[in-house]
Amino acid sequence: MNLLHREVSTVASGLALPLGRPARTGTAAASSMMQATASHGSSNAAVKVGPWGGHGGRPRDMNSRVPADHLESITVRSLLLPGGHICGLSFVYVDRKGQSIPVGPWGASKAGTVDTIAFGEDEYLAEVSGTSDGFGVTSLTFGTSSGAEYGPYGFPLGTPFSLSLQHSNSHVIGFFGRSDEVLNALGLYLAPRT
């Protein structure tokens, strides 16, 4: 097994993937991640994990010509009411040329409570968890490499999902998903830390 496959196996072994989505759990998820990374031919290539949530909304992605290096900040709009959803998500990532690239908002840009997480210079996103129903993402919680936890945002109701990279050599560098008036689905881009 080459270094590339060991890295992906290490990432996959630390995952707690979504309940109710058998195609993305356990060995199947690890295999998918290995194939995705191997197809890029580089251990620095990003791997997509997820998405979790509903099937509505329009596809959303980072669409960058220069690969992402790390996240700079995440902004979440959420409703804290029973039956509430994540109203919107936006984020800023730094690409490999050192440029800050804003993405979003995905979903509503004016509804809900707004919270922004700004990452420190040596801090990275290491954990993402939440809940979803058939319509969209109902809650999100983020954990950083420094042990800080942010959230839960929204109202935790529905099928739980989680991913922890605290004990791996990878981190979350960006997001993809689907949205309309809410965040319908959210997936993650993972890459090795450099």
What CATH number is given to the structural domain containing 134? 2.100.10.30
Q: Is residue 103 one of the residues assigned to a domain?
A: yes
The 3-state DSSP class for residue 96 equals coil
Residues 6+ apart with CB under 8 A from 64: 95, 101
Domain that holds residue 107: 44-192
Q: How far apart are CA 118 and CA 46, in angstroms?
A: 22
Start-to-end C-alpha separation, the chain:
21
Q: What is the pLDDT of residue 47?
A: 93
pLDDT in tens, 83-103: 789 999 999 999 999 999 999
The 3-state DSSP class for residue 54 equals coil
Minimum mean pLDDT range among 42-51, 99-108, 149-158 = 42-51
Q: Is residue 17 one of the residues assigned to a domain?
A: no
Burial, 118: exposed, middle or buried (Cβ in 10 Å; 0-12, 13-18, 19+)?
A: exposed
* Mean pLDDT, the chain, integer: 80
Q: Is residue 179 one of the residues assigned to a domain?
A: yes
Q: Are 185 and 151 in contact (CB under 8 A)?
A: no
Going by C-alpha positions, the residue among 4, 9, 5, 7 that lies closest to residue 29 is 9
pLDDT in tens, 170-190: 999 999 999 999 999 999 999
User: Is the model's pTM score more than 0.85?
Assistant: no
Q: Which residue has the higher pLDDT, 28 or 74?
A: 74
Q: How far apart are CA 63 and CA 75, in angstroms?
A: 19
Q: Is residue 79 one of the residues assigned to a domain?
A: yes
Q: Is residue 25 one of the residues assigned to a domain?
A: no
pLDDT confidence tier of residue 43, bands split at 50, 70 and 90: low
Q: Is residue 60 one of the residues assigned to a domain?
A: yes
Q: Is residue 34 one of the residues assigned to a domain?
A: no
Overall domain count for the chain: 1
Q: Is residue 9 one of the residues assigned to a domain?
A: no
